[in-house]
Amino acid sequence: MLNISTEKRKLKRTYLRKGDPSLVLISSFITHVKYLGWSDERIKKILSDARSQNYNYLYSTLKRAIE
C-alpha cells in the first residue's frame, strides 16, 4: 500500500520543453511562478506578451521569464 505524505511537495525546477503544446508550456509556467509568489498582474503581462506572436516567441518568452 502506498503511503502518501501530507507534506506539500516542493517544486524544485520547471522544465519548459520546446515541442510541448502551448497549453502545457503555459500551465507549467503559471504553476511555477504562482509557487514563487508572482502577482497575477505580472503573470498576465508576461502571458499577454508571450501569446502575441508565434510558438517560438511564446516558448522563448516564458523560458526567459523563469530563468
Ordered DSSP codes for 19-57: TS-HHHHHHHHHHHHHHHT--HHHHHHHHHHHTTS-HHH
**Beta carbons within 8 Å of 34's beta carbon, 6+ residues apart:** 43
Confidence at residue 13, expressed as pLDDT on a 0 to 100 scale: 64
Query: Which residue range is the domain that position 51 belongs to?
Result: 39-67
Instruction: Flag whether 11 is in a domain.
Output: no
Asked whether residue 45 is assigned to any structural domain, the reply reads yes
59 neighbors 25 (Cβ within 8 angstroms): yes
Q: What is the pTM of this model?
A: 0.77
Rounded to whole angstroms, the maximal C-alpha distance in the chain is: 48
Q: Is 62 contained in some domain?
A: yes
Number of domains in the chain: 1
What nine digits make up the cell of 2?
502506498
Q: How confident is the model at residue 15 (pLDDT cuts 50, 70, 90)?
A: confident
